[in-house]
Amino acid sequence: MRTTLNLAEDALIAAQALARRRRISLGEAVSELVRRGAGAQAHWVQDPEAPLRGRFALLPRRDEVVTAEHVRALMEREGI
């Protein structure tokens, strides 16, 4: 489907970089990024009626404090 989008500069740069790396069109790259984002949102936001703060849904409260060690371990596990 053909359409016109107004993208933020950083979003355009990310899509162009993906298109170059994967050797696909810019439209295919944008479609892939949108699908990834939609999938990530579905994964993190389980309740579509979850309360919003600004533009972000709040996750359920946890009984632990997330520390820098938690973040480093997750980054290591995810290969970031």
| Model confidence pLDDT, tens digit, residues 52-73 | 566 666 667 777 788 899 889 9
Residue 7 near residue 15, CB atoms below 8 Å: yes
* 1 assigned to some structural domain: no
Asked if the structure places residue 20 within a domain, the reply is yes
pLDDT band at residue 30 using 50, 70 and 90 as cut-offs: very high
> In terms of residue numbers, what domain contains 20?
9-78
Which secondary-structure segment (H or E) carries 18?
Answer: helix 9-22
Amino acid 12 reads: L
**To the nearest whole percent, how much of the chain has pLDDT over 90?**
38
DSSP three-state, residue 56: strand
Domain annotation covers residue 3: no
Judge whether 2 lies within some domain.
Answer: no
- Res. 38 pLDDT band, cuts 50 70 90: confident
CA angle 18, 23, 29 (to 5 degrees): 40
Residue 26 lies in a domain: yes
State pTM to two decimals.
Answer: 0.49
4 domain residue, yes or no = no
Q: Look at the chain and report how many structural domains it folds into.
A: 1
| 17 pLDDT above the threshold of 80 | yes
